[in-house]
Structure 1
């Protein structure tokens, strides 16, 4: 499984991952590694091996993990669970291991021809088999879980999707807000283009990458229930590391509200932390922190713009709402978009990174999938930039090997600040170098600050293809633009 499963941090901070439920045969150390935050309120960071946020990951695996989490809500047959478990273990093991092949015999839903594909593709395609649509309102958390929430909604089929955002829109009053206490930037807004989204039948499904204490989701449920009460909420996360007291708090809230609250995850367990973790974590950061990689001394690599041919009536994501009809339209347009990007990538590129932009995670993910399908001989990876400050240490047993720091380039409402792209530069391991980078931003992020900041850093790493996605605000949706 992953080679950065926490040994470096465990040795220095005495942090331990302990497994509990493994519904698909994989545990915490398969799904997350450990890193150290540069944050005085929380010392450790669980770095997902299937999220594609901090670590460049096979986009087919990232989408498949979200689909699998969604099917934890809809349910899967025993045979499909067995096949999915086999494919997931093989995909996490990677191409350089002796992992067993996907067990075709485990499920009649997994034909022999499909099993000849890479395990991540097998898993994704197995989980894309049509199911009876389930109506729900799915809400993902910015910035980390925006694409994960989209993918959960994909699995439900009939779900409307909305993700929280830290980007306010002038003249649009937020539906609700909540706080993420351990985060580096805590203000979340819900800005639906149409408040009728909250009248969608079925449960409200809250999606995050990890369920640590559950405080954020409890705050959200309270805020939503005060405005529009529901009788069923589902909390979905890749990993659930809550303790008994946290689980009791969720049960108590369900009793208080007279509602059902379910929690599902791909794996559960606990993170064992020493009592002085904050002090030792800050000391480790102070002792270990190193500057970003130096600027390239060779001529900067070229930047080419690719026109995606984005439809004018298609939202760029779930910031203001994304319906099943929008997903069908995106699925239809993706092959041509991926073809346009593929044509712009330098010939001979064998290792390609599709890099998203903070909350804009789902469209880059799906473009990455399209490129992986179109360029089967290339190793296509996907990750995104982030606000999250994390210690980078160029050691094989550590999750965050390198970082590129650059100024924010979308005129954020909370003021200027530093942003990061992790594991994009190769560092001391040349096998991690990318031959091309596809940077996907929305219009708000395509600014002169992008040119002088992030693009300048990326040009020191590899040739860049820049693709810009139009922004459709709630006002433009109401006006039909």
Structure 2
């Protein structure tokens, strides 16, 4: 175990939270503690290269493989008209990799920061996030106006709310016949499973889902309160610990 950077099991062991899914799930995901009044846990990817050190070839390979599956799904003609959209901040790099796999498709990622003088081409809300508002600020304002498929890339597909909010906003501005949702993991609950199909029928478009693994999170009773208590405990321990060289240097 000496060469293991992070197992993702520390929070699961202390809060009783379980990741349940197919055989690939534990390789892709681990659990972290979250300082958040809405959720006690945070799903952290092992293959994004964002929070856990990972080989660039692994990071790129997972995104590129998802993009190749999108290419197989759409076919070469539709891929030539497709645009790929990644979600800030976690899936910006993943979206680039997926776009390469699709076939060097035009790529845009959302941002949380308005830019003076740049008009927004759309916006949507990510209700569970710490910073909820996303903006789309393409250099070419016509990038999203074409009729080709829109490929939406995120690290995880949990409730589906962010994806549905995005498509609802963009479909009102730039209606199209097809969307493809791409994520490393599909973590929807049983209650959320049918919402994507219902939404597709509502807007009169096809919405496909491409993921590398699927599963769900089992939360014990009172997990939010347990998580908040664990956060407080860890923060108190950090404050009482002797300051190391890095902390002393920062204070200086």
TM-score for the superposition, normalised by structure 1: 0.47
Q: Do the aligned residues in 1 keep the contact of 2:6 with 2:52 (CA within 8 Å)?
A: no
2:162 corresponding residue in structure 1: 216
Residue aligned with 1:235, SS: strand
Task: Give the structure with higher Rg (CA).
Answer: 1
Q: In structure 2, what is the Cα distance between the partners aligned to 1:29 and 1:243?
A: 17
Q: In structure 1, what is the Cα distance between the partners aligned to 2:59 and 2:72?
A: 20
Match of 1:172 among 73, 96, 118: 118
Number of aligned positions between the proteins: 242
Q: In structure 2, what is the Cα distance between the partners aligned to 1:182 and 1:296?
A: 33
Match of 1:247 among 146, 168, 193: 193
- 1:197 shift after superposition: 0.5
1:69 corresponding residue in structure 2: 66
Match of 2:10 among 5, 8, 11: 8
Match of 2:173 among 218, 223, 227: 227
Structure 2 gap ranges (5+): none
Q: In structure 2, what is the Cα distance between the partners aligned to 1:296 and 1:3?
A: 21
1:33 corresponding residue in structure 2: 30
Q: In structure 2, what is the Cα distance between the partners aligned to 1:27 and 1:287?
A: 33
Residue aligned with 1:143, SS: coil
Q: In structure 2, what is the Cα distance between the partners aligned to 1:149 and 1:157?
A: 12
Q: In structure 1, what is the Cα distance between the partners aligned to 2:64 and 2:146?
A: 21
Q: Residue 19 in 1 paired to residue 16 in 2?
A: no
TM-score for the superposition, normalised by structure 2: 0.88
Q: Compared with structure 1, are the counterparts of its residues 297 and 46 closer, same or farther at alpha carbon in structure 2 (3 Å cutoff)?
A: closer
Q: Residue 271 in 1 paired to residue 217 in 2?
A: yes
Structure 1 gap ranges (5+): 21-25, 77-130, 301-455, 458-481
Taking only aligned residues, the RMSD between alpha carbons, in angstroms, comes to 2.4
Q: Do the aligned residues in 2 keep the contact of 1:5 with 1:32 (CA within 8 Å)?
A: no
Q: In structure 2, what is the Cα distance between the partners aligned to 1:70 and 1:297?
A: 43
**Pairing of 1:121-132 with structure 2 (within 5 A):** none
Q: Do the aligned residues in 2 keep the contact of 1:32 with 1:46 (CA within 8 Å)?
A: yes
Q: Compared with structure 1, are the counterparts of its residues 275 and 173 closer, same or farther at alpha carbon in structure 2 (3 Å cutoff)?
A: farther
Deviations 1:6-53 (A, max 9, x none): 432222111111114xxxxx5211101111011111111111110011
